[in-house]
Structure 1
Amino acid sequence: MAVQTRYHLRRATLDDLSSVVGWPQTPTELRYLFPRAQWPAEPLKLLEHLANHEEGFVVCDSERILGYASLYNPKPQGRAWIGHLIVNPRARRMGVARYLVTALTTIAQERYRAKEMATICFANNQGAYDFYTTLGFQNEGWETRIDHRSEPLKVFRLTKSLPTPT
């Protein structure tokens, strides 16, 4: 008997991205997703930014798009990065982000033979930090990013070693 999942992953389309750019609900959420974006969001600028990521993926159920993230800068036999992870506000706390990170990790391992996954997490985004550490990511250190007001933002580099495929 085949196990049915309620979610599936596919590459993001421009139509998908048009929906995704409307998901940030507050200036803080927008800042976490796009540090250089101003509130209120300018959908065309955000859409252009996301469209430049070759490896953008969405998680869907049978009716709607539930989450988005990009897999970027994958180095064969090295590190692959997860970026711009966001979940549709109506689908939060339903396992979508976990499904997305797991799926991107599988893609990174199978396609690039990645040995490590990485992401950045804003220092004041405790929920995201806790989420990633629950999935086995560890704090590798921090760096400074600049937001749209040219103000510095502290971000943590989180990494997770991947098992070597047999």
Structure 2
Amino acid sequence: MPTHRPVTDADLSALCALPRTPEELFYCFPRAEFPLTPEQLRAAIEQRSDSTVVELDGRVVAFANFYQWAEGGICAIGNVMVAADARRRGVASYLMKVMCALAFDKHRATEVKVSCFNANTAGLLLYPRLGFTPSAIEERRDKAGAPVALVHLRLPRDIAPQVD
């Protein structure tokens, strides 16, 4: 059964190992350079809110935070990363439900947003299962300069999933 808690400095090395390839890092942290370093992650955490880790079997296996948050407004989830060996075990779903609960309960958000690159099939399939619906598509460039689509999704407060 997964559990969650706020991130600590002691988690940074384990979190930096979660994105195994430049492509995985691009999905969760497009501005970072591979390999992810504690310094890059710490800088992002300092500019964001509610950085949260998920543990499974006593090991840190997932992470996310808010890059946008406003009391009574919109919270936007970013830096979503899940360890490869924890995927398809409900960890990402649990993490997203935790982040939604933080947004709606702590920040009294009216909606939660998340964005997902077109090649991130797992994310594009997960978010709608949780009630997120696509709201916009934005053209971006990957690290090689090739065009990619960033799909923006939203979840209104009234259909928020509950943490199991």
TM interval, short-chain normalised: 0.7 to 0.9
What aligned pairs does 1:54-65 form with structure 2 within 5 A after superposition? 54-65=49-60
Corresponding residue of 1:9: 4
* Aligned-partner Cα distance in 1 for 2:50–2:97: 15
* Identity %, equivalent residues: 31
CA-CA distance at 1:37 after TM superposition: 3.2
For structure 1, the 5+ residue unaligned runs are 1-5
Aligned-residue Cα RMSD (Å) equals 2.2
Compute the displacement of 1:49 (Å): 3.5
User: SS where residue 158 of structure 1 aligns?
Assistant: strand
User: TM-score of the superposition, structure 1-length normalised?
Assistant: 0.84
Deviation at 1:116, TM superposition (A): 0.6
CA contact (8 A) 1:66 1:87 kept: yes
CA distance in 1 between partners of 2:36 and 2:93 (Å): 28
Q: What residue number does 2:109 align with? A: 114
Q: CA deviation at 1:151?
A: 4.7
Mark the runs of 5 or more structure 2 residues left unpaired by the alignment: none
1:100-128 Cα offsets, whole Å, 9 max, x none, are 11111111111111111101100222221
Describe the shift of the 1:146–1:44 C-alpha distance in structure 2 as closer, same or farther (beyond 3 A): farther
**1:47-126 residue pairs with structure 2 within 5 A?**
47-52=41-46, 53-126=48-121
Count of aligned positions: 159
Deviations 1:21-61, CA, capped at 9 Å, x for gaps: 1111222111112223344x141453234332332100113
**Is the 2:12–2:42 Cα contact (8 Å) retained in structure 1?**
no
SS in 1 for 2:131: coil
C-alpha change, 1:7 and 1:37, in structure 2 (3 Å) is: same
Partner of 2:28: 33
Which position in structure 2 is the counterpart of 1:3? none
Q: Distance in 2 between matches of 1:25 and 1:164?
A: 33
Show CA shifts across 1:55-76 (max 9, x none). 2100113511121011231122
